[in-house]
Copies of this chain bind each other. A is one copy, B any other.
Amino acid sequence: MSISPYELSIPTFQRGFTVLTKLLDKAEAFAEEKKIKTDVLVNARLSPDMLALAGQIQRLSDTAKGAASRLTGTDAPSFPDDETTLADLRTRIAKTVSYLATVPESAFEGAAERTVVLKSRGQDVTYTGKDYLLTFALPNFYFHLTTAYAILRHNGVPVGKLDFLGRT
């Protein structure tokens, strides 16, 4: 038995957003306990030239919906990246998860062989659906999810590896 592009994308992304939601729950509880404004965490970053937590979540959303859209040849909704609060980010996550739920498994028929063209620094990069998923979408999704985790942990939020693995 092999693994389908659907299984590797929609349920993987849904699981990731469930993990992220629990990380944000812990961040919110931490902020409340320490009397820190949650804005501080939303704007926290690991390096001055890296995206803050808000940006990591916006790119996580875009990676997931971009993959669902490109692998099925259908349109995904566009979100304007205007989230500035934890509540806004939760809404972004909810909108992303709602969209993912509308993409049926049947739409992934032939996804591995589909031609996917990405713009990267002004140049077109052409992938097969399979290569796009394995070498761009999945690494990028986990990159932003891990970086969101790392930003919170770096700032003292008591999250651990079992949270990241969705085993809590």
Which A residues lie at the B interface, using CB under 8 A?
A: 1-5, 7-8, 11-12, 15, 46-47, 50, 112-113, 120-121, 125, 130, 133-136, 138-140, 142-143, 146-147, 149-150, 153-154, 156, 161-162, 164-167
Contact = CB atoms under 8 A, between A and B. Distances in A.
A123 to B, nearest CB: 10
| Copies of this protein, total | 2
A150 to B, nearest CB: 5
Describe A's contact surface by its main secondary structure.
Answer: helix
Contacts of A139: 142, 164-165
A4 B142 CA distance: 20
A101 to B, nearest CB: 18
Contacts of A134: 3, 7-8, 11-12
B165 A135 contact: yes
Given A3-B3, A140-B165, A150 B153 contact: no
A11 B2 CA distance: 16
A112 to B, nearest CB: 4
Given A46-B154, A142-B143, A135 B4 contact: no
